[in-house]
Structure 1
Amino acid sequence: MENTPGSAAWRKEKRQALIENRQAIPVAARLAADAQLAERLDEMVQDVSGKTISLYWPFRGEPDLRKWAAACQERGARLALPVVVAKATPLEFRRWQPGDKLEKGVWNIPVPPEGAEVVLPDIVLSPVVGLDAQNYRLGYGGGFFDRTLAALRDKGVKARAIGVGYAHQRMDTIHPHEFDIPMDDAILIET
């Protein structure tokens, strides 16, 4: 496998290094950065009443925004979690609120069980492995978020995609491919 900028091997190498760096962030620094992310999100999205926000269950050192999401729910937002339903397909967004029963999904990430209400989000929070200057997101390599954003747009749903992460995840470019979709907004916080 050739390791040229933008190739699968290059992305795999970058992904591994960025995830290792993120997991090495001390817990106290991560918690402080997550609080700053929550403040910045409040400034960015402002009135959440009546909106559906898709967050994610934190995995491998990703920012934990569940407290922020619970506060948004108290201000009238509905919450959802993304669910992988099949390989190489868009994610499904299932309604969720703190305290709801969850089951193990792909990579043992907790997800709402089958049968939970499927919703279309107004705001999609997407954790980044890497993020470039044009807001293209380097993820885990499955293409789920890109397929999902494309499918939502095909349905006429313009969900606001916000990439979230830590400043060390900033990259000059991910060398986007034709199927990569940039985030509408992004917040990367120093740790």
Structure 2
Amino acid sequence: MAEKSDSDTEIREYASPPCYAHELSPEYGGQSEPEDSWSCVLRWRKVERQRLIEERLAIDADERKKRSDRIASRLDLAIGKVSGRIVSGYWPFRGEPDLRNWAITVIERGGRIALPVVIRKGWPLEFRIWSPGDPLERGVWNILVPSRGPSVLPDVVIAPVVGFDGANYRLGYGGGFFDRTLAAMHRRPLAIGVGYAGSRLETIRPQPHDIAMDAIVTD
């Protein structure tokens, strides 16, 4: 999740971020920031992030399972052979597609599953091997993570998206963890974003620090 900031109050005062308010009405005469300014993009992303999360939380459990299963079947096509490879998945959070059953099939087919762990704000993620029955603990945002286990470099990184665009840029929760992690890796893994098709945006307004996924897989 994005951290609280002094701009939170300002966002609630606008139906659209103030730097785009002139788009709502030609009569708008207030001062606006350049559309590509980072502070403007941050405000716009915050509004879109909240909207998209609320939309996916409104999906009922049965429908979410159907969509998750469709994503799982398409992941197999995107990844190909998993035997002998380390695939980093995730523990679902706030209505994200649930791919835990699919992760077990990866293990059954000779692959290994790792889960991302936040070590500290501003640091890259650490990936730890996980198998069913391994001990878990509550990490950042109360998400379950392996409580112990070796740190590994995945061959495939699956990153849940809040939103995405046609250039495969991913809108996440605002912490920058996946971008920072991919940038720091000495060997680039296959990076795949997963999410619901309805989360597609025209653009996430990518910035120099944003790293595009190799592919986005949706339902």
For normalisation by structure 1, the TM-score amounts to 0.94
Query: Quick one: distance in 2 between partners of 1:175 and 1:16?
Result: 16
Deviations 1:11-69 (A, max 9, x none): 10000000000111111111001111111011111210000000000000000101101
Give 1:107's aligned residue.
Answer: 141
State the match for 1:121 in structure 2. Answer: 154
Partner amino acid, structure 1, of 2:133: G
* Counterpart selection for 1:70 from 104, 107, 121: 104
Give the structure, 1 or 2, with the largest relative contact order (CA under 8 Å, sep 6 or more). Answer: 1
> SS state of the match for residue 175, structure 2?
coil
| Matches of 1:145 and 1:118, distance apart in 2 | 16
Question: Are 1:176 and 2:206 counterparts?
Answer: yes
Work out the CA distance in 1 between the residues paired with 2:154 and 2:18.
37
- State the one-letter code of the partner of 2:138: K
DSSP-derived class of the 1:7 partner = helix
Q: Which residue of 2 aligns with 1:84?
A: 118
- Alignment partner of 1:98 is 2:128: no
Paired position in structure 1 for 2:188: 158
Letter in structure 2 aligned against 1:66: R
Deviation track 1:168-188 (CA, whole Å, cap 9, x = no partner) reads 100010000110000001112
Runs of 4+ that moved beyond 4 A: none
Match of 1:31 in 2: 65
Aligned pair count reads 185
Which of residues 137, 143, 148 in structure 1 aligns to 2:170? 137
The one of 82, 87, 100 equivalent to 1:53 is 87
Q: 1:90 offset after TM fit, Å? A: 0.6
1:21 counterpart (47, 52, 55): 55
Q: Report the 3-state secondary structure (helix = DSSP H, G, I; strand = E; otherwise coil) of the residue aligned with 2:50.
A: helix
Deviations 1:121-148 (A, max 9, x none): 0000000000001000000000000001
Specify every segment of 5 or more residues in structure 2 that has no aligned partner in the other structure, as ranges: 1-6, 8-16, 20-34
Unaligned runs of 5+ residues in structure 1 are none
- 1:42 is matched with 76
Moved more, 3-12 or 99-108: 3-12
Q: 1:3 to 1:81 in 2, by over 3 A?
A: farther
Q: Which amino acid aligns with 2:199?
A: Q
Q: Matched residues, percent identical?
A: 56
Residue 165 of structure 1: how far off its partner (Å) = 0.4
In the TM superposition, what is the alpha-carbon distance from 1:3 to its structure 2 partner?
3.8
State TM-score, norm by structure 2.
0.82
* CA-to-aligned-CA distance 1:67-98 (integer Å, 9 cap, x gap): 10100100000110000000011100011111
Distance 2:18 2:106 in 1: 43
